[in-house]
Amino acid sequence: MSTVLIYILLCLLAAKIASDKGRSGTGFFLLSFFLSPIVGLLAVCIARTNEAKSMLASGCKKCPDCAEYIKREAKVCRHCGLINV
């Protein structure tokens, strides 16, 4: 019984780490559950952070001119110089 609980907790850990990186927590949970929590944890450690989701979650927006991420409070894009972004 305790091994099943540890197995599921490790799968949930992989899902939490993936979700924090902006990846699909459900997908990494299922990967961990069906293959192995070790495989899931290795995969989530190798996976890159999803820049678009992490930037939007941190309060940034895309510049309509150059498509770079800038802070929501910015009045001028630091990449292209567009005013009143």
Longest Cα–Cα distance in the chain: 61
pLDDT of residue 20: 85
CB distance 63 to 70 below 8 Å: yes
pLDDT of residue 85: 57
Kindly give, in sequence order, each residue whose CB lies less than 8 Å from that of residue 83, ignoring residues fewer than 6 positions away. 75, 76
Is pTM beyond 0.85 here?
Answer: no
| Per-residue confidence band for 5, with pLDDT thresholds at 50, 70 and 90 | very high
Kindly give, in sequence order, each residue whose CB lies less than 8 Å from that of residue 64, ignoring residues fewer than 6 positions away. 82, 85
Residue with tokens 């990449």: 79
Q: Where are the domains of the chain?
A: 1-49, 50-85
Tell me the per-residue pLDDT of 9-57, one tens digit each, with 9 for 90 and over: 999 999 999 988 888 899 999 999 999 999 999 999 998 877 766 666 6
